[in-house]
Amino acid sequence: MARRKKIYEGKAKILYEGPEPGTLVQYFKDDATAFNAQKKDVVDGKGVLNNRLSEFFMTGLNNIGVPTHFIRRLNMREQLVRSCEIIPLEVVVRNFAAGSLSTRLGIEEGTPLPRPIVEYCYKDDKLGDPLVTEEHIAAFGWASQQDMDDILSLALRVNDFLSGVMMAVGIKLVDFKIEIGRVYEGDFQRLVVADEISPDSCRLWDIETGQKLDKDVFRRDLGNLTDAYTEVARRLGVMPKSAQPMSKPTLIN
């Protein structure tokens, strides 16, 4: 068997050279990290769930005309994607206050925001992905004004789509983060939603109970992360057979 060329290994995924030029294979690991990798663990089954969930969201976006890097799922942990030049920004969209916005501005978690708020962070782990303004983005040339208009429009379309899909299964989309990539087609460049959309990159709360069904379960030690992600997948009807919760052994005294 020929050895594949590893392009990049990140905290949650590995990128391999794809079978055709302009493609990559994205492998979803079980590794979970938080607080810029200060907290780490292996969460059995997380990669399988995120591969499925990201496929589900990206396919839905492609179907409504929001371009993404997703081509097709290859197996339990891998998907084929278009290779992009990633814009070095984390694009965050918030519908309710939570996390760093609550801390920064002293707004109680769960407070509805007057309108979706879009924030940009500069992708640099060493700096802890700091919040930046459009001034920084323009001055340092990370994206052009045209790119910024397109990024905003993509981010809001993703927000409308994801909010609706989640609302339909009784889940509130509090906030999420996406990454945007450039793909080149001849003389043209196009922006697409890249990386992943999964409970690792969203805040998802049960509408009735407020129960957290996202990576905050890991960040804040609120229980079993796989159970939370499995619940999201189950509600969306995308639960892979192998990720079904196994009955746990019962201790008999």
User: Of the two residues 136 and 235, which places its CB atom closer to ligand ATP in the complex?
Assistant: 136
d(CA 168, CA 21): 38
Which of 124/149 has CB closer to ligand ATP?
Answer: 124
Complex with ligand ATP: residue 212 or 215, whichever CB lies closer: 215
- Structure-token pair, residue 36: 């810029």
Q: Which of 93, 97, 155, 194 binds ligand ATP (CB under 6 A)?
A: 194
- Which parts of the chain fold into alpha helices (H)? 46-63, 99-105, 134-139, 145-167, 216-219, 225-236
CB of 15: closest distance to ligand ATP in angstroms?
A: 5
Least CB distance from residue 72 to ligand ATP, whole Å?
Answer: 13
Residues making up the chain, counted from first to last: 253
Please pick, from the candidates 32, 49, 58, 81, the single residue that binds ligand ATP as defined by CB under 6 A. 81
Q: How far is CA 156 from CA 10, 33, 59, 149, 216, in A?
A: 27, 27, 17, 11, 23
User: Does residue 15 bind ligand ATP (CB under 6 A)?
Assistant: yes
- Of 121, 190, 187, the residue nearest 154 (C-alpha): 190
Q: Is 24 in the site for ligand ATP (CB under 6 A)?
A: yes
Cα(197)–Cα(156) distance, integer angstroms: 14
Q: Is 175 an interacting residue with respect to ligand ATP (CB under 6 A)? A: no
Task: Figure out which of the listed residues 13, 172, 177, 215 binds ligand ATP, where binding follows CB under 6 A.
Answer: 13
Q: How far is the CB of 194 from ligand ATP (least distance, A)?
A: 4
Stretch binding ligand ATP (CB under 6 A), from 10-18, 102-110, 207-215, 232-240: 10-18
Burial zone of 214 (CB within 10 Å; 0-12 exposed, 13-18 middle, 19+ buried)? buried
Name the site residues for ligand ATP (rule: CB under 6 A).
8, 10-13, 15, 24, 69, 81-84, 86, 123, 125, 179, 181, 194-195
